[in-house]
């Protein structure tokens, strides 16, 4: 894996797989496959890959249960597992067949948080070691590990600032920074970035602050106040000088990088406008766009309303664990608002916070029903102690957690002398007035109304999740469907049709060029060498393809010939109304190409008013580009036959600018049934006779062999 060099992609460069991918998903599926065959369970490796994501979604539900149980109790933990088990945002990457890094990485993320919070509660070195191992698996699986290595230092600094620093926090955080950084640096795709990139400097800063805070606390206990102040003044003067020197060195190192040591994706999270201004390849990905408000409702449903209540519930009884839940939720909300892809990170946080809120509400309802008669209409006061034992949402569930926290305090060197439990006593008016404020039990009818409302909301949540999962996230992205008026679906299978044609009608060593969105599909389904693919590790190579697509036909022909390209295909939706075609993506090709090749300027492809059009008012450079010609070659005649409207683009909604497109350097060899995939052969020499025409609609001709 580490030394695998793939010469079937990124021709002629090739790609070192171990240094350009996070191998956690591959190792996970491979290990499962070997374990199953060790026990003589003959599953094919493809079946293992198909069911990897659903399996880890179940493990993620267990991790959420453990995390919320540490913070609030097992009742709230069960609700968190219930929510995350069917939340649409997570189901989008955990359905069967979704073989992507996030399929295992979201479980790894929550698993790290669970073991970290458990270590903070217990102070156990064993739990700290498991936290480090969980973090190592997270780094192995997904680049989102940077969210962890920045959130945990923020939590550590918050604990120091709010006076919640304990030895248990040190046991949880310090080994994670030391061992976690060492494990991260041993993974090739991360390497020395674990110590050289600004994304990790926050962890090192919190590591130093934690040690200084603990040292100050130790010295304060050992010295008198007078001697402590004298020593503090001396040490502070020395620390300020050393700190200024270290800060200057770090600033000088960071200043060498135009991004101040941050990766492009991280800079996009800190500055949402950064990618659109400087890294168009990041901004061109639809998953990197900010989400709409409707996306939160569709992906989270009632959790959107319950999560803020969960934050308030966490503050009502603030502990180290609930403080972490609050910080996790707030940071995840911000990052999801910058990039829709990070809704995956938000989903478990919202589920956990919503579970805390709903659990507290259910405890109040059930506690009130225990002390109130069935048909009571007005609330009555009960003794605070009785109310606490009956209606407090942690009275029974947090006992084990409290015990573990006491044990953890003892392990960290703190005073954890067990105290005897006070004997329960019957409520009385005198004792209630003397002991503190009164708590009120809700009327029974109100309790039953609230309970019914909760059950209705949970039922609506289940129905919504089933609908979203079935209709939005369970359809394959490569086979498109459109509902018929009379019922049923009309299937567009053009992608598989085109890839099958490439696989059966081209030489096995043929080089195929397309936009990078389709690189993985071409490699897997057509089994042909591609120029670029979805890994996007080399922006300049992608810019070369963008330059070819945005150039005139003759210039594009020379570019593709220099890359040994034999076939070029484009995705076109103008005939059937498919909006995600290459014409709509074309400006991103121009921007990415222009970032490397200055002769490509976006304004040349726009009208004088700044509009992007492909009709008669379109820019001359646009109408002469290779992308325009490959998309609209013979389109006018076909649209006349299919719809009776000559040259009407159903996506753009108007007639195209040039109806009679001619090709002299490229030859059409295949067009799929619905014209969504159009494949062209790069000619050995420019065409002299303009009359030869290639096969049309759904019919391709086998190209002449270039090899003996």
Is the pLDDT reported for residue 412 higher than 50? no
Q: Is the alpha carbon torsion for 80, 86, 92, 93 positive or negative?
A: positive
Which pLDDT band, with edges at 50, 70 and 90, does 96 fall under? confident
Is the residue at 485 inside a domain?
no
Does residue 507 sit in the same domain as residue 603? Answer: yes
Distance of CA 392 to the CA centre of its chain: 36
Does residue 244 sit in the same domain as residue 182? Answer: no
Is the residue at 436 inside a domain?
no
pLDDT at 413: 39
336 or 257, higher pLDDT:
336
Q: What are phi and psi of 75, to 5 degrees?
A: -65, -50
Does residue 302 sit in the same domain as residue 330? Answer: yes
Task: Collapse the DSSP code of 648 into the 3-class scheme (helix H, G, I; strand E, B; otherwise coil) and give the result.
Answer: strand
Does residue 590 sit in the same domain as residue 668? Answer: yes
Tell me the β-bridge partners of 478: none
pLDDT at 286: 78
Which pLDDT band, with edges at 50, 70 and 90, does 264 fall under? low
CB 532 within 8 A of CB 512: no
Instruction: Give the domain CATH number at 574.
Output: 3.40.50.12610
Number of Cα atoms under 13 Å in the Cβ half of residue 546: 30
Is the pLDDT reported for residue 375 higher than 70? no
Pair of tokens at residue 288: 């990197």
Say how many residues make up the chain.
708
Q: How far is CA 72 from CA 304, 326, 356, 581, 686, in A?
A: 20, 13, 7, 49, 73
Rounded to whole angstroms, how far apart are CA atoms 705 and 274?
A: 47
β-sheet with 529-530: strand ranges across = 529-530, 511-513, 567-571, 677-682, 666-671
**End-to-end Cα, the chain, rounded Å:** 34
Does residue 140 sit in the same domain as residue 247? Answer: no
Domain span at residue 220?
A: 209-261
> Residue 511: in which H helix or E strand, if any?
strand 511-513
The alpha-helical segments, DSSP class H, found in 571-651 are 582-596, 620-623, 626-632, 635-643
pLDDT at 502: 96
Rounded to whole angstroms, how far apart are CA atoms 467 and 460?
A: 10
For the chain, give percent helix, strand, coil, nearest 5.
Answer: 60, 5, 35
pLDDT at 379: 55
CB 15 within 8 A of CB 6: yes
pLDDT at 228: 64
**Domain stop point among 301, 330, 363:** 363
Average pLDDT for residues 214-233, to the nearest whole number? Answer: 73
Q: How far is CA 154 from CA 173, 328, 585, in A?
A: 11, 10, 39
Task: Collapse the DSSP code of 281 into the 3-class scheme (helix H, G, I; strand E, B; otherwise coil) and give the result.
Answer: helix
Greatest pairwise CA separation for the chain in angstroms: 107
Tell me the β-bridge partners of 217: none
Is the pLDDT reported for residue 692 higher than 90? no
Q: What are phi and psi of 491, to 5 degrees?
A: -100, 130
Q: Do the bridges between strand 511-513 and strand 567-571 make them parallel or antiparallel, or are there none, so unpaired?
A: parallel
Which pLDDT band, with edges at 50, 70 and 90, does 240 fall under? confident
Average pLDDT for residues 375-398, to the nearest whole number? Answer: 47
| Gyration radius (Cα) of the chain, Å | 31
Is the residue at 418 inside a domain?
no
* Total domains, the chain: 3
Does residue 618 sit in the same domain as residue 511? Answer: yes
CB 665 within 8 A of CB 686: yes
Does residue 146 sit in the same domain as residue 229? Answer: no
Site of tokens 């409290």: 402
**Domain stop point among 299, 333, 363:** 363
Average pLDDT for residues 587-610, to the nearest whole number? Answer: 93
Q: How far is CA 639 from CA 663, 674, 677, 683, in A?
A: 19, 11, 16, 27
pLDDT at 449: 92
pLDDT at 421: 46
Task: Collapse the DSSP code of 669 into the 3-class scheme (helix H, G, I; strand E, B; otherwise coil) and give the result.
Answer: strand
> Residue 12: in which H helix or E strand, if any?
none
Is the residue at 243 inside a domain?
yes
Q: Which of 479, 658, 681, 678 is nearest to 573 (CA)?
A: 678
CB 570 within 8 A of CB 556: no
Rounded to whole angstroms, how far apart are CA atoms 379 and 385?
A: 17
Task: Collapse the DSSP code of 345 into the 3-class scheme (helix H, G, I; strand E, B; otherwise coil) and give the result.
Answer: helix
Is the residue at 398 inside a domain?
no
Question: How does pLDDT run across 477-508, given as a tens digit for each residue?
Answer: 788 888 888 777 888 999 999 999 999 999 99
CB 138 within 8 A of CB 148: yes
Does residue 163 sit in the same domain as residue 303? Answer: yes
Is the residue at 453 inside a domain?
no
pLDDT at 378: 52
Pair of tokens at residue 225: 């106040």
Is the residue at 391 inside a domain?
no
Q: How far is CA 350 from CA 64, 120, 306, 311, 676, in A?
A: 11, 21, 8, 10, 39
Is the pLDDT reported for residue 315 higher than 50? yes
Rounded to whole angstroms, how far apart are CA atoms 356 and 72?
A: 7
Name which of 241-245, 278-282, 383-387 the model is least confident about.
Answer: 383-387
Is the residue at 417 inside a domain?
no
Rounded to whole angstroms, how far apart are CA atoms 402 and 346?
A: 28
pLDDT at 257: 60
Distance of CA 106 to the CA centre of its chain: 8
Does residue 501 sit in the same domain as residue 552? Answer: yes
Q: Considering the entire predicted model, what is its pTM?
A: 0.83
Pair of tokens at residue 608: 């004088």
Rounded to whole angstroms, how far apart are CA atoms 412 and 430?
A: 41
The alpha-helical segments, DSSP class H, found in 142-200 are 145-161, 167-185, 193-196
> Residue 402: in which H helix or E strand, if any?
helix 399-411
Does residue 97 sit in the same domain as residue 27? Answer: yes
Question: How does pLDDT run across 287-303, given as a tens digit for each residue?
Answer: 888 888 888 999 999 99
Does residue 513 sit in the same domain as residue 600? Answer: yes
Does residue 95 sit in the same domain as residue 236? Answer: no
């Amino acid at each position: 894996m580490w030394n695998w060099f793939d010469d079937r992609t990124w021709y002629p460069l090739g790609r070192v797989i171990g240094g350009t991918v996070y191998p956690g998903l591959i190792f996970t599926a491979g290990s499962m496959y070997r374990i199953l065959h060790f026990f003589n369970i003959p599953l094919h490796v493809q079946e293992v890959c198909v069911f990897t994501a659903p399996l880890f979604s179940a493990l993620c539900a267990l991790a959420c249960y453990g995390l919320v149980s540490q913070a609030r109790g097992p009742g709230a933990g069960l609700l968190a597992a219930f929510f995350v088990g069917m939340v649409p945002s997570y189901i989008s990457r955990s359905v069967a067949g979704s073989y992507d890094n996030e399929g295992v990485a979201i479980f790894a993320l929550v698993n790290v948080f669970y073991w970290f919070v458990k270590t903070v509660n217990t102070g156990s070195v064993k739990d700290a070691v498991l936290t480090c191992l969980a973090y190592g698996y997270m780094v192995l699986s997904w680049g989102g590990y940077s969210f962890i290595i920045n959130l945990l230092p923020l939590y550590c600094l918050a604990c120091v600032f709010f006076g919640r620093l304990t030895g248990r926090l040190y046991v949880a955080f310090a080994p994670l920074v030391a061992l976690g950084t060492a494990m991260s640096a041993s993974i090739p795709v991360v390497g020395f970035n674990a110590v050289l990139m600004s994304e990790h400097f926050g962890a090192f800063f919190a590591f130093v602050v934690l040690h200084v805070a603990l040292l100050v606390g130790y010295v304060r206990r050992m010295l008198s106040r007078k001697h402590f102040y004298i020593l503090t003044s001396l040490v502070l003067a020395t620390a300020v000088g050393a700190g200024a020197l270290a800060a200057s060195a770090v600033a000088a190192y960071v200043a060498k990088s135009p991004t101040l040591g941050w990766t492009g994706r991280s800079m996009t999270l800190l500055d949402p406008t950064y990618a659109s201004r400087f890294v168009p390849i990041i901004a061109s990905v639809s998953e990197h766009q900010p989400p709409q408000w409707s996306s939160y409702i569709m992906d989270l449903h009632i959790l959107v309303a319950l999560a803020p209540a969960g934050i308030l519930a966490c503050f009502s009884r603030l502990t180290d664990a609930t403080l972490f839940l609050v910080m996790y939720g707030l940071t995840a909300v911000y990052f999801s608002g910058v990039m829709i892809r990070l809704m995956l990170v938000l989903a478990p946080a919202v589920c956990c916070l919503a579970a805390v809120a709903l659990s507290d509400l259910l405890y109040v309802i059930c506690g009130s029903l225990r002390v109130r008669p069935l048909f009571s209409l007005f609330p009555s006061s009960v003794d605070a102690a009785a109310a606490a034992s009956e209606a407090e949402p942690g009275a029974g569930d947090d006992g084990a957690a409290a015990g573990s926290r006491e044990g953890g305090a003892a392990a960290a060197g703190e005073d954890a002398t067990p105290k005897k439990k006070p004997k329960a006593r019957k409520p009385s008016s005198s004792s209630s007035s003397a002991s503190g404020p009164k708590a009120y039990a809700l009327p029974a009818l109100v309790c039953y109304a609230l309970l019914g409302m909760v059950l209705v909301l949970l039922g609506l949540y289940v129905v919504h999740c089933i609908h979203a999962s079935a209709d939005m996230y369970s359809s394959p992205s490569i086979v498109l469907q459109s509902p018929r008026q009379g019922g049923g679906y009309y299937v567009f299978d053009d992608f598989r049709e085109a890839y099958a044609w490439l696989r059966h009608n081209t030489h096995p060593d043929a080089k195929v060029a397309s936009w990078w969105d389709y690189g993985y599909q071409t490699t897997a389904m057509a089994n042909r060498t591609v120029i670029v693919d979805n890994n996007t590790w080399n922006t300049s190579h992608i810019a070369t393809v963008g330059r070819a697509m945005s150039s005139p036909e003759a210039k594009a022909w020379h570019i593709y010939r220099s890359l040994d390209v034999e076939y070029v295909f484009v995705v076109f939706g103008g005939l059937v109304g498919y909006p995600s075609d290459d014409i709509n993506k074309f400006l991103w090709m121009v921007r990415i190409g222009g970032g490397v090749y200055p002769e490509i300027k976006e304004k040349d492809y726009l009208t004088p008013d700044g509009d992007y059009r492909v009709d008669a008012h379109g820019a001359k450079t646009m109408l002469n580009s290779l992308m325009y010609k490959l998309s609209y070659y013979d389109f006018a005649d076909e649209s006349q036959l299919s719809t009776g409207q000559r040259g009407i683009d159903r996506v753009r909604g108007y007639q195209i600018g040039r109806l009679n497109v001619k090709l002299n350097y490229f030859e059409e060899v295949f067009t799929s049934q619905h014209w969504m995939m159009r494949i062209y052969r790069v000619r050995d020499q420019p065409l002299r006779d303009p009359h030869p025409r290639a096969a049309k609609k759904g019919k391709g001709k086998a190209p002449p062999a270039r090899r003996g």
